[in-house]
Chain A
């Protein structure tokens, strides 16, 4: 989760998010350089006392400021496309989970081996135990084994929702009648929070997502426990 007043990204919990972090650093640096240059030119133009009323054309600089932006765009596009194709690689997941969006909660189905399904409602603010995070905690978390490729099939039962976990670099629309697939591997154990990212009615801001990455034995214990409860 983000700490209060955090401006930058959360630390990456998956390799794809790591790549996105570095790409963002690269692109933002280019943006800062261009903005600084433009700001400098604006200040120089506004504060000069010189005038030149007789400029007609200037072929050399026109070539420069056409070719240079094209080169910069290529320098941005190549890493971007690399990550795009990286995200779509064949990944042979160990587990497939279905995340279904409802108004206003998520439900998760683990149906690879047994029929495990449960709903995940936000814990209301007045019911939080001391120290819990307001508007982020849920009664049941989506527990996954760490360092294993996981496939998530995202859909919705009523209106559009979106399943997003920023620390994993995931956001996928939940469209009724459609199955959208996304995949991730968690590089480290931990609890990762996200929030519904498509306006879906009155409680759109109150249906968070919590992914808990744990070692495999813990995952097996948890799923047995959940199966007994249901």
Chain B
């Protein structure tokens, strides 16, 4: 027990830093971390319908060709060809509005999966009816239900606005 306590204490004091996988420790030792975490103190690019003008352009580091295009952009825009204008758009934006609004086909997977499980449930229920359930009580047979219904009418069950109120006692049939 003493040794396990010592082991834990040793881990805490001496080996945590060498075994740790925390990114701040690794970065402090010069390792480049390819993380998906973002630095929220800096302006971020976004594709959002309700924020149409992002804070920064999509591409900030240009190669030679892109730099040349950016220089041309500083001149009159009428001299830009259609392809150049589109290329400039793609430099400052990742998606167009049409692409943002497009949506995915995920709903097909969801609906399909839902129908599949509904079908499976139906299969389970059918199996239960065939292999698990016993016979229904004899009071559910048509003859018994007919006698029962007649008895309910004779007893004036719910005569005000319920069952027997739908029966015409003069003509001895259900009211139309």
Are B49 and A131 interface neighbours, CB within 8 A?
no
Give chain B's interface residue range (CB within 8 Å of chain A): 20 to 34
Are B148 and A131 interface neighbours, CB within 8 A?
yes
Task: Report the Cα distance A134→B163, complex, angstroms.
Answer: 18
Within 8 A of B (CB), among A8-37: 10-12
Are A128 and B139 interface neighbours, CB within 8 A?
yes
Task: Report the Cα distance A6→B139, complex, angstroms.
Answer: 18
Are A131 and B144 interface neighbours, CB within 8 A?
yes
Of B147, B160, B161, which one neighbours A131 at CB under 8 angstroms? B147
Contacts A133-B148, A191-B155: A3 and B163 contacting too (C-beta < 8 A)? yes
User: Is A221 an interface position by the 8 A CB rule?
Assistant: no
B162 to chain A: which residues have CB within 8 Å? 3, 6, 10-11
- Chain A residue at smallest Cβ distance from B140: A134
Contacts A125-B139, A130-B144: A51 and B159 contacting too (C-beta < 8 A)? no
Contacts A51-B49, A130-B144: A11 and B151 contacting too (C-beta < 8 A)? no
Contact with A along B125-165 (1 / 0, CB 8 A): 00000000000011100011001101110011111111100
Are A130 and B156 interface neighbours, CB within 8 A?
no
Are B161 and A3 interface neighbours, CB within 8 A?
no
Of A51, A131, A133, A191, which one neighbours B150 at CB under 8 angstroms? A131
User: Is A91 an interface position by the 8 A CB rule?
Assistant: no
Q: Which of A3, A133, A191 has the most CB of B within 10 A?
A: A3
User: Is B65 an interface position by the 8 A CB rule?
Assistant: no
Task: Report the Cα distance A204→B170, complex, angstroms.
Answer: 41
A188 to chain B: which residues have CB within 8 Å? 159
A128 to chain B: which residues have CB within 8 Å? 139
Task: Report the Cα distance A134→B152, complex, angstroms.
Answer: 13
Chain B residues in the interface with A (C-beta under 8 A): 49-50, 137-139, 143-144, 147-148, 150-152, 155-163
A-B contacts, 11 of them at CB < 8 A, read: A1-B157, A3-B162, A10-B158, A11-B158, A11-B162, A12-B160, A131-B144, A132-B148, A134-B137, A134-B139, A191-B155
Chain A residues in the interface with B (C-beta under 8 A): 1, 3, 6, 10-12, 51, 53, 125, 128, 130-134, 188, 190-191
